Structure 1
Amino acid sequence: MQQRHPLPPFNAETAAQKVRLAEDAWNSRQAEKVAAAYSPDSQWRNRASFINGREQITAFLSAKWDKEQQYRLIKELWAYSDNRIAVRFAYEWQDQAGQWYRAYGNENWEFDENGLMRSRYASINDLPISPEQRLFHWPQGRRPDEHPSLSDLGL
């Protein structure tokens, strides 16, 4: 059976590590790589979409990143206990017409005993922003360690 460390039960250090690993994977924009962190029967609610299993996760993420160009994400640990983690996040993206957005959201995660996420519930709101309001300027891919966190940015 595949395992994704760190495994539950989580403590402050392992929960924060799990959050950063998820952020790094999402910033890779590799749908299959991201989907591998979820259990084969994982259930999602993402905005108004209900998604079940890795195949649907992969398809959803591929379509998302086709639409959301210049995607850059920051996640931050909010709370944790046993096999659950709550996260807040923000990401910036540009649509095909050139409009920039900052999406703000919260996620609730539940993991199985192998460290695979079996449920993800995400609430997300998009705010149109001007290019001058952008705060996430690193090259696409992993956020540099020295880049400010959401709390540091006042988000």
Structure 2
Amino acid sequence: MTPRLFDLSSTWHLPAPPEKVWAIIADIDMSWPKWWPRCSFAAPLLRTEPASTSQEDILKATTAYLKFKASLGYTLTISIHPTTVITASEIEFDASGHLEGTGRVTLSPEAEGEATRMAIEWKVRPTQRWMNLLSPIAAPAFTAAHALMMRQGEKGLLRALAEGAASK
């Protein structure tokens, strides 16, 4: 049985220019756990020798191992490895671990560059046997848990953006 493909997308509207959003979501320390509730590091960052000292090359040489605690009580451990990085506009990555596939985050300016539309796409398949067995009946619950986790991430990013603005 081929594991079900989950094609998940989210759109966040953020009251900050793309450059400020990018500085938080694409920092070279991949510090999502600092602002994303229920997200933590599962292991230290793995970094190979980057092709240069540019942010793009450092990110492409980095793999982050993250744990996400779902509202349904299970924890997913995934690795995220950027494959394409276009500063302040797009990052694509491979995902592996409990979910395998790809993701993409695209930032687009809104409100004459004072706000950002952040489009997030995930195309992943679960690798855990229990998830694959339950997917035919539990897919709506898994999708709802993902949506809630994404809303928590959006709220965390909004707080991080507000704290960044307050500290300046």
Coarse TM-score class (shorter-chain normalised):
0.3 to 0.5
Q: TM-score, normalised by structure 2?
A: 0.35
Higher helix share: 2
Q: TM-score, normalised by structure 1?
A: 0.37
Larger radius of gyration: 2
